[in-house]
Amino acid sequence: MTRRGGQLPWGTRGSTMIYSNRRQSQTGRVLVLAAIVVGVFLLGAYVVMKAFGGSCGDEYCPADSEPSPPEGYERVTRVYAYNEDHGPLPEGQPLQIALPLTNTPVDPTNLNFYQYLPEADRWEPLGAATIDASGKNAAATLPSAPRYVAVLRRLSEAGHVVAYLPKGATQLHPDAAGKITILHTKDYAPGSDGSIEGTRSDVQLSQGVDWYPSVWADSSTQGMIPILSTILATPESRTKHVQDIVRVANEGAFPGIDIAYLDLPATERTNFTLFIAELAGELHKQNKKLSLTLPVPQKTPAQIEEGAYDWEQLGKAADILQIAPYREQGKYRQVMPEILRYLTERVDPKKLVLTVSPYAVETSADGIHVMTLADAMAIATRMSLVVGNENRVETNSNVQVVGVNIDRNENLTGVSWSTDAASVFFTYKQGSGRTVYIENFFSLGFKLELIPRFGLGGVAVEDASANEYLGNIWTALNPFIETGQPILMQPNGDDLAPKWFVSDGSSEGGNQGVIRWATPSQPGTYTVRLTLSDGVALFQNEMQVQVQAKQTPAAGG
């Protein structure tokens, strides 16, 4: 184990825990080479003595007992306990640490340092672990010194954990650290001549994460679908495109490539299948993998429509098939089980990965619109004043303040929980009416339950960036990643009720989305604030209201 602020030394000492703060005088450095011969001779005997119960003078020593790891994990080091001979346990200081692995080699994926809390009989994650150059130690920098520590490896209860990063994003959400197994950066796109355009993202990856950049194309880019049709049209153009993709994989030293050619017309079904089969063959020859991001099939009254995507044949060629998000949240719980049943009858379920999203979705007669959680709650917290004909707010008067998009008196739902959709939602009036579904901790659990139900190969996150305007769905994802089981909960109804504040005067009502404000007796500028929650976070909107002195009627008026 290395102490705070040091660097890893050349060798080991004591119980084979690595220290970095070994102080050496200039003379000591001169004698190092001479001591190596003696050191090598004595090290074996010293380690044997330690193994047979010798005393430990290190800062961390093997614990007297070794509690079992949590379900779904294996321990790859012994459990170490802080040696109180070194004084009180340091708190609030970063700690560099390296623990010897019990067996080498070890699978370097999904390794994390954990602290054990005996009073609660519980393990808590501390940070991702990496294997050092020798392959014999797991190392990390921890935020503080734990009393009991070990390195555990997740046994992939949740399967693949795939993270997409939008083009230009370079930072993963902080809660994704140590959790993801595959990263897709939307770096590349097909060029008009069949070449690959784009540059790799500047992303720092943890050890154990496989980087498969995406070659992304959909109808949001004008003219892209005709470009894809031209590329797929002939064997010669397909082969050239395959060669360009393989070249990108080789030049970037990527272990795989993700292809996301969405919105293709059904007429491209055969050509797309041939293209993927050829690409998979070429990548596999070079020990690289092929991942596909495919639009979710459509459920019609008569059948499941695959369109341009022959899932059965694509599943034979590709290594991983990510199912893009199904946007119709109001129908998700009715439709997605049927779609997944259909797909798992045609594709090895362990190749299928269900994609979830941190975005809110608005549905209306105009179609489906994706938005951030912040934008959705900005719609929900809009306010207006209902004042008299003179359009002024006066002292000592009653004024209505309306949450215009949560006013239940206008037959709106307010922010509520939909049992049918298993989601927080609200309706508001624009055009023929709109419904906004919020994706958060609560709704996500009811999607994640489909993964173990159908034996799928994992979960993907549509946008795993550190975008602060998105909802934090990692609070639901991480327990699922660790255990393979979702958390199924509904929000507290009281948390969804609107909360009102006026800086002076008094107010009454509010649960219906409207308050009556008795304005103060003195003119001035006052604050009215509406606070709403999606059951997880709070969102506020406020307005400054100019209250003017009450007008008195003119004499004889």
Strand ranges for 360-473 from DSSP E: 360-364, 367-371, 383-386, 393-394, 398-403, 416-418, 423-428, 434-438, 458-461
Q: Is residue 427 part of a domain?
A: no
What is the rounded distance in angstroms from the CA atom of residue 471 to the CA atom of residue 373?
Answer: 6
What residues of the chain score a pLDDT lower than 70?
1-55, 71-72, 109-110, 154-157, 207-208, 389, 553-557
CATH code: domain of residue 48? 2.60.220
Q: Is residue 127 part of a domain?
A: yes
Does one domain contain both 197 and 328? yes
The domain total for the chain is 3
> Do 507 and 496 meet the contact criterion of CB atoms below 8 Å apart?
no
Does one domain contain both 315 and 188? yes
pLDDT in tens, 169-186: 989 999 998 889 899 999
Does one domain contain both 389 and 328? no
Q: Is residue 366 part of a domain?
A: no
Q: So what's the pLDDT on residue 45?
A: 32
Q: Is residue 248 part of a domain?
A: yes
Quick one: which of 104, 148, 102, 107 has its CA closest to 124?
148
Q: Is residue 419 part of a domain?
A: no
Does one domain contain both 65 and 189? no
Both tokens of residue 11? 């060798």
Structural domain of 410: 382-414+493-548
Q: So what's the pLDDT on residue 5?
A: 32
Does one domain contain both 142 and 267? no
Q: So what's the pLDDT on residue 91?
A: 80
What is the rounded distance in angstroms from the CA atom of residue 346 to the CA atom of residue 316?
Answer: 10
pLDDT in tens, 276-286: 999 999 999 98
Does one domain contain both 445 and 541? no
Cα three-residue angle 457-458-461, rounded to 5 degrees: 145
Does one domain contain both 324 and 348? yes
Q: So what's the pLDDT on residue 556?
A: 59
Q: Is residue 304 part of a domain?
A: yes
Does one domain contain both 106 and 193? no
SS3 of 299-327: ECCCCEECCCCCHHHHHHHCCEEEECCCC
Does one domain contain both 115 and 230? no
CATH code: domain of residue 327? 3.20.20.80
Q: So what's the pLDDT on residue 77?
A: 95
CATH code: domain of residue 507? 2.60.40.10
